[in-house]
A and B are shown apart, each in its own frame.
Chain A
Amino acid sequence: MLSLLPESLRHDRRLVWATYAGLALLLCLLPFLVDAGMGRTWVRILDFALLYVMLALGLNIVVGFAGLLDLGYVAFYAVGAYLYAILASPHFGLHLPFWVLLPLGAAIAGLFGMLLGAPTLRLRGDYLAIVTLGFGEIIRIFLNNLNAPVNITNGPQGINLIDPIQVAGLPLSKGLDLGILTLSGVHAHYYLFLTLTLLTIFIALRLQDSRIGRAWVAIREDEVAAVAMGINTRNIKLLAFAMGAMFGGVGGGLFSAFQGFVSPESFTLMESIMILSMVVLGGMGHIPGVILGAVALTLLPELLRYIGPLQQSLFGRVAVDPSDLRMLLFGMGLVLVMLFRPEGLWPSPKRARELHPDSPDVSRQEQEDLYDASR
C-alpha cells in the first residue's frame, strides 16, 4: 500500500500513518459530506466512481501490466452483470444470494477471459486490439439476440427487477438501519463498493509485486526474451486475461444488483473505450494513476449536468445540449492530455522520465553515453 504515496512522504513513518488515517476518515465521511453539499445524486455518482475504479484496475492488469491492448473489456463486465441478472431475478424465477453470485460471476468472467485469451495468444498490438474489439461486440450482440428460440437474456428489453444485495435478510437498496445511524441505499452501497474497491487495490498491488507481476512486465517489454528467461508466456498471458476479466465480472455483478436492471445498451464499445481511457489517461500500469483516471472520468462528465441550467439562467434557453458537449469535451480532453502528458495524469516515476527525454536526468545519461563512445 505504501507505493500509493508520493516518494517524499514515504520516509517519515508517522506522517505516512497520519496520511492514511486522514484518507480513511475522508473516505468514511465522504458520502455524508457529498450528500449535504451536493445532493444524493452525487452519492450515487460516487458509487459509480468506485465501480469504475474496480473495472479500470482490472483492465490495467491486461493493458498496463501485461501490455495486451484489450478493446473488448466490457464483455466481461457484461458477463458478470447478466450472470447476476439471470440468476437473481424473476426472469427465470431464480433468486440466488449475492454472496454466491459474486464469486461465481468472477469465476465465469475469468473463464470468458481465457476463452478470449486462448485464440489470441499469438497476436499483439493492433491485431489483438481488433480481435478483442470483435469479441466485445459478439458478446453484446449475443445478449441482444438471445431471446429466441429460448429466452435467456430477454433481448433488447433487458432484464428488470433484479434482486438487490441482501444484508441480514434485508435489501441493501432500501438502506441500512444501524441503530444509532440510518444509511440510505446509496450510502450503504458506497461502503460495500468501497470495501470491495480497497480489496481490489490490495490484490492489484500484490499482483504487481509478485513473480507473476514481473513475468507480465517481461512479456510487455519483450516476449521472445521473456520466453528465454524461462517464463511460460502462454499461461502467464492467459492468467492476465483471466485476472482482468474477474475484476470485470465482479464489477458487472455489482452493477446489476445496484441498478436493478441490465440491457445490452450498457455494454457498448464506447464503454470499453471509456474504461481504457481511464487507464491510459490516469497512467498506464500505475495503480494510483489508474484510480485517479477512473474517478476523474466518472465525475467530470457529471459536471455537465449543470451546463443546461447554467445556459438557461444566462441566455434564457438551452443553446447547446449538454449531452452533445460530453463527447466533444471528452475528446478534447483526451487529445490535450496525450499531447502534453502522454504518460498520463499520474504516471509511475519511471514512465514519466521515459516520455520526457528532454529532462535533465535523461540528457545527462545521453551525454555520458556519447562521452563513452568517443573514448
Chain B
Amino acid sequence: MNLLELHSLAVHYGGIKAVKGIDLHIAEGEVVCLIGANGAGKTSSLKAIAGLLPAAGGEVLFRGQPITRLPAHQRVRQGLALVPEGRGVFPRLTVEENLLMGAYQFDDKPQIRIDLENSYSLFPRLQERRAQRAGTLSGGEQQMLAIARALMSRPRLLLLDEPSMGLAPLMVQKIFETIRGIAAQGVTLLLVEQNARLALEVSQRGYVLDGGRVTLADSSESLLGNPQVRAAYLGA
C-alpha cells in the first residue's frame, strides 16, 4: 500500500494556479524527490500535502485514508511532518526547547527523552548547543534543528522543503549526508529541492515539475541520465 497518494491535486493562490493537478505516490520506506524550476509548484504541492494550503481540487490520501480536508495540526498527529522552507525554527527558544516543541502532541516523557537523545546522537552539534537560542545558530545548524525537531514528532513521512536553501556548499553536503542517514533508518521521505543533482542522488525516484504539472516521473537514476533533465536542471 502506498503511504501517500496524490490524485490530480490542484493548488491555487487567489487566481493563480500554482499546481494544476498532479499525481504522485510514495511507498513506505521510499525516498522521493520533487524537482523543478522556481515557481514550478514544488513548495505549493508540499504545503498542500501538509495542510498549510487548501487543495483547490483533487485528493490527498495518507495510509489509504483521504486527508484532503483535514486541518494541518491533525495531519501532524497522523504522522506527517513538514520541515518548512526557510527552516522556521523558534528563534528565541533554546535548541532543546525547539526539539521538545516537536514532541508537542506527546505526553510520554520517557519516550520523549529517548527521542531527544536520538536527535542528539544524529546531530551531535545540536547537543553542544542545546542551551543556546535557536536564532543564534548558523543556517546549517538551524536546518539540522528543523529536521531533528520534525523527527521528534515520530513521523511516518517526512516532508523536506528546500533543505539546501541559503546554505554554504559544504553545509549542503553535510545536510544531505544526514538526509541519507535518516533515509537509511527507514524513514519515508519526500524531498523538494532546487538542487536537482543532490536531490536525485539521495532519492530512489523523482518527479519533475514544470508549470504546475508533472512532466516526468522516473527512477532517479534514469532522470540523472535523461538528456532533457540534464540540459534543463543539471546544467550539463
Within 8 A of A (CB), among B51-85: 51-52, 71-74, 76-77, 81-84
Distance of A98 from chain B, by nearest CB (Å):
39
Stretch at the interface among B110-118, B130-138, B212-220: B130-138
B102 interfacial contact with A, CB 8 Å: yes
CB distance B138 to A218 under 8 Å? no
Q: Give the residues in chain B near A230, CB-CB below 8 Å.
A: 73-74, 76-77, 104-105, 153
Across the interface, A225 reaches (CB within 8 A) one of B84, B105, B133, B168, namely B84
Q: Give the residues in chain A near B168, CB-CB below 8 Å.
A: 373
CB distance B92 to A221 under 8 Å? yes
CA distance A365 to B134 in the complex (A): 12
CA distance A222 to B52 in the complex (A): 14
CB distance A232 to B52 under 8 Å? no
Q: Give the residues in chain B near A215, CB-CB below 8 Å.
A: 104
A314 interfacial contact with B, CB 8 Å: no
CA distance A222 to B91 in the complex (A): 8
Instruction: Mark contacts of A211-244 with chain B using CB atoms, 8 A cut-off: 1 yes-contact digit, 0 otherwise.
Output: 1001101100110110111111100000000000
B183 interfacial contact with A, CB 8 Å: no
Give how many A-B residue pairs fall within 8 Å (CB-CB).
74
CA distance A17 to B73 in the complex (A): 43
Across the interface, A229 reaches (CB within 8 A) one of B71, B76, B133, namely B76
Across the interface, B76 reaches (CB within 8 A) one of A211, A228, A372, namely A228
Distance of A92 from chain B, by nearest CB (Å):
44
Q: Give the residues in chain A near B51, CB-CB below 8 Å.
A: 227
CA distance A232 to B77 in the complex (A): 11
Q: Give the residues in chain B near A229, CB-CB below 8 Å.
A: 73, 76, 101-102, 104-105, 149, 153
CA distance A74 to B206 in the complex (A): 56
CB distance B101 to A214 under 8 Å? yes
B186 interfacial contact with A, CB 8 Å: no
- 6 pairs, A vs B, C-beta closer than 8 Å: A211-B104, A225-B90, A228-B81, A228-B83, A229-B76, A372-B138
Other CB < 8 Å A-B pairs besides A229-B149, A230-B153, 9 of them?
A222-B90, A222-B91, A224-B52, A228-B81, A228-B84, A229-B76, A229-B105, A369-B137, A372-B138
Binding site for B on A (CB under 8 A): 211, 214-215, 217-218, 221-222, 224-225, 227-233, 350-351, 354, 362, 365-366, 369, 372-373
Binding site for A on B (CB under 8 A): 50-52, 71-74, 76-77, 81-84, 88-93, 101-102, 104-105, 132-133, 136-138, 149-150, 153, 168
